[in-house]
Structure 1
Amino acid sequence: PADRLTVGQTGDAFDPLMSGHFLVKQRMQMYNSPYRGVLDCIRCVWQQEGALAFYRSYTTQLTMNIPFQTLHFMTYEYLQELLNPQRHYNPSSHMVSGALAGAIAAATTTPLDVCKTLLNTQESLPLNSISQSGRHITGLGHAFRTVYRLGGLPAYFKGVQARVIYQMPSTAISWSVYEFFKYVITKHQHEKRRIQRD
C-alpha cells in the first residue's frame, strides 16, 4: 500500500547528510583508530583526503537502500498477510513482522554494507593490497573486487550478525510506532465521521 512508503523513505532524504557521519563514525570505531576525537577525524580526513572523501560511499549507500527498502517492505507485507490477514491493529504481529523484515533486508544487503564500510574507512590492509601505493578505494566496483581479493565470498558477510541484531529492534519499533499512530488517527477520523452523521 502507498501509505506504507513513508516509513522507510525518510532515510533516503538524509543520505547526503549521513554520508559524512557514517565515515566519521566508522573511522572512530576502527581498531587502533588514529583519531583523538570527532573533530580530529574530520580535520584529518579533510586535510589528507579532501572534502569528497566524506561522500566516497554515497552512491553505495543509495545503491544499498533500493534492495534494502524493497525487501523490507515486501517481507513486512508478506508476514502481515500470514500473521494478521484481517489487518487489525495487533502490536505483536507488527513487532514480529517488522523485526523479521528488518533482519532479512539487513542480511541480504550486508555485502553492500561491507563495501560501504571499506570505502569509508580506507583500511590499511586493503589499501596495501592495491598495487599502486597511496591509492584510495574509490567506488563500489573497486570495493567489491578488493573485498573478494582479500577474503573471497565469506568476506562479504562479515558482521552480518551484528547488522541483523541492530536492525531487528529498529525496524520492529519503527513499524510498531507507525501502525500505532495509523490506528489512533484512523480511529479518531471514524469517530469524527460518526459524530457528524449523528
Structure 2
Amino acid sequence: MDEEYDYESLGNNSSMAQNAMAGALAGIAEHCVMYPVDSIKTRMQVIQNSRPATVPPLSSYPTGVGLRTASRNLWRGVNSVVLGAGPAHALHFATYEYCKEYLGANQRGHHPFASAIAGACATLAHDTLMNPFDVVKQRMQLRESTYRSVRECARQVFAKEGVTAFYISLPTTLAMSIPFQSVQFATYEFFRKVLNPKGEYDPKTHVIAGGLAGAMASSITTPLDVIKTVLQTRGSSNDLRVRNATGLLDAMSIIRERYGLRGFFRGFRPRVLTHMPSAAISWSVYEYFKWFMDARPATQQQQQDKNSLLL
C-alpha cells in the first residue's frame, strides 16, 4: 500500500474539527498522566503560610489507608484539567494549524517566523481559555485544600476574590507560555528532522523529540512558573504579603525577599519530570491522530479507485 500522503501538514489535509479533536485528545492525555507529579511541583512552589497546616504522617493511618489517602490527595483537581485541557488544547492546535496555513508556514522550506507567530496566536487562545481552570486546579492541589469539587472551589474563589482571581496570573502565564511554546516547537521540529529526515510517521521519533522539547522548554521557563503559582494560589495563603500580591513584579519581589534567586527554581525537578514525559505524550498522541485521520481517507480513496477499476 502506498503511504506517501503528507500527514505532517494536518491543516492542509484535514478539517478544523479534526485538528481540534487531535489537539483535545493530546491535551487530556498530556495533563492527566503526569498530574500527581504536577501536584508535587505546585506544593513545592507555594510560599509557605505563616501557620503551616499540620499533615498527619502516614504511620498514623491504618495499614494501607495512608498511602491511599496520599495518592488521592495528589489527584485532587484533576477534573478541572479534564474540563479545561480538552477545549483549550483543541483551540490551541486548531489555531496553530490555521495560522500556519494562513501565514504560509506549510509551504516548502523553513518558515520559523511564521511558525513563531502561529505559535504565539495559539498560546494566547489556549491560555486565555485555560487560565481559570488552572487556578482552580492549583487551589485544589494545595496540601491544606478542603475543596470537595471543582464547582465548589470555583464558586468560593469567585465569591471571596471575584473574577480577578481567575485572571491575575494571565500576564505571567502568557509571558511564560509564549517563550515556552516557542522553545518547545523549535526544539521539537529540530530533533524530529534530525532523527527522522524523511518525515515519515515514526512513534519513537515523536516520543524522543517531544521529551527533549518538553525538558528544554520547562527548564528555561521555571522562574516564571514559580511566579505564576504564587499568584494563582495567593487567595489560599495566610500570609498577608502573599495574599495581597498585585501582579508579576510584586510576586517576584516576594520570592526574592523570602528565598533569594534560588527561590525562582523551586519545584524545578518535578516541573521538568512533568513536562518531559507529558510533552512526549502530547506530541505522540497528536502526531498519531494526524496520521490516523489522514490514513483513513487515503485508504478509502484507494478502495474506491479499486472498485471503479473492477466496474
TM-score bracket relative to the smaller structure: 0.7 to 0.9
Which of 20, 25, 28 is the aligned partner of 2:132?
20
Moved more, 162-171 or 108-117: 162-171
Structure 2 SS opposite 1:152: helix
SS at match of 2:188: helix
Higher relative contact order (CA 8 A, sep 6+): 2
Q: Which moved more, 1:155-164 or 1:109-118?
A: 155-164
1:88 counterpart = 2:200 = yes
Distance 1:178 1:63, change over 3 A: same
8 Å CA contact 2:123, 2:181 repeated in 1: no
**Cα separation, 1, equivalents of 2:153 and 2:201:** 46
How has the CA–CA distance of structure 1 residues 143 and 178 changed in structure 2, closer, same or farther, with 3 Å as cutoff? same
Cα root mean square deviation, aligned:
3.2
2:298 and 2:151 map into 1 onto residues whose CA distance is 49
User: Could you tell which deviates more after superposition, 38-47 or 89-98?
Assistant: 38-47
Q: CA deviation at 1:110?
A: 1.1
- Contact 2:176-2:224 at 8 Å conserved across structures: yes
Q: What secondary structure sits across from 2:201 in the alignment? A: coil
TM-score after normalising by structure 1:
0.79
- Structure 2 gaps of 5+ residues are 1-7, 12-92, 98-117
Superposed displacement of residue 39, structure 1: 3.9
The alignment of Structure 1 onto Structure 2 pairs a total of residues equal to 192
Q: Does 1:173 align with 2:253?
A: no
Deviates more, 1:29-38 or 1:108-117: 29-38
* Sequence identity percentage: 43
Q: Does 1:162 align with 2:264?
A: no
Equivalent residue number for residue 176 of structure 2: 64
- Cα shift at 1:186: 6.7
Query: Structure 1 residues 83 and 124 mapped into 2: Cα distance closer, same or farther (>3 Å)?
Result: same
Gaps of 5+ in 1: none
> Aligned pair in 2 of structure 1 residues 155, 182: CA closer, same or farther (>3 Å)?
same
- Cα 1:79/1:49, change in 2 over 3 Å: same
The 1:138–1:87 alpha-carbon spacing in structure 2 relative to 1, beyond 3 Å, is same
Other-structure match for 2:190: 78
Alignment correspondent of 2:233 = 121
Q: Distance in 2 between matches of 1:187 and 1:38?
A: 38
What TM-score, normalized to structure 2? Answer: 0.53
CA-CA distance at 1:15 after TM superposition: 2.2
**What CA distance in whole angstroms lies between the structure 1 residues aligned with 2:138 and 2:291?**
38
After TM superposition, give the deviation of residue 151 of structure 1 in Å: 0.8
**Deviations, residues 27-61 of structure 1 (Å, cap 9, x unaligned):** 22223235454444334322332221111111111
